[in-house]
Each structure stands twice: as structure tokens, then as C-alpha cells.
């Protein structure tokens, strides 16, 4: 019965190991997908700034010229 118990433990270990690999692979793919989404968002944001750069600047930061001087 001891040898059967050892064989069953070895089977459990061998079946759980690929599960960890799948979890790691899934986490890696999720991180890569998240980084790709951030990259696409930054590309879109940069394209908008390039197309219309002055819309990104708030009007309160513009320096007004004083014509009285």
C-alpha cells in the first residue's frame, strides 16, 4: 500500500506541474495584452496631439501679450 501511495503522489505532482506552466503562460499573455493596449492608447493619444497640438494645452497657461507697453 505504501508503493501505491507513492505512485499516487507522483501522479498528482506530475499532473499539477503543467497547471503552473499554464498559469504562468496565461499571466504572461495577460501582461503582454495589457502592454499592447497601453501602447495602442499612447499611439492614439500622440496622433491626436500631432494632428492638433494646441487643443492639448489649456488656455489658462497661455501668456497674454500686453499691448499697452
pLDDT tens, position by position, 24-67: 899 999 999 999 999 999 999 999 989 988 876 777 766 666 66
pLDDT at 69 over 60: no
pTM for the model stands at 0.51
CB 56 within 8 A of CB 49: yes
Amino acid at each position: 500500500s505504501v508503493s501505491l501511495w507513492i505512485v499516487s503522489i507522483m501522479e498528482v505532482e506530475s499532473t499539477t506541474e503543467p497547471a503552473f506552466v499554464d498559469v504562468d503562460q496565461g499571466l504572461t499573455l495577460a501582461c503582454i495584452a495589457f502592454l499592447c493596449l497601453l501602447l495602442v492608447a499612447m499611439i492614439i493619444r500622440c496622433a491626436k496631439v500631432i494632428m492638433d497640438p494646441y487643443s492639448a494645452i489649456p488656455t489658462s497657461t497661455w501668456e497674454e501679450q500686453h499691448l499697452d507697453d
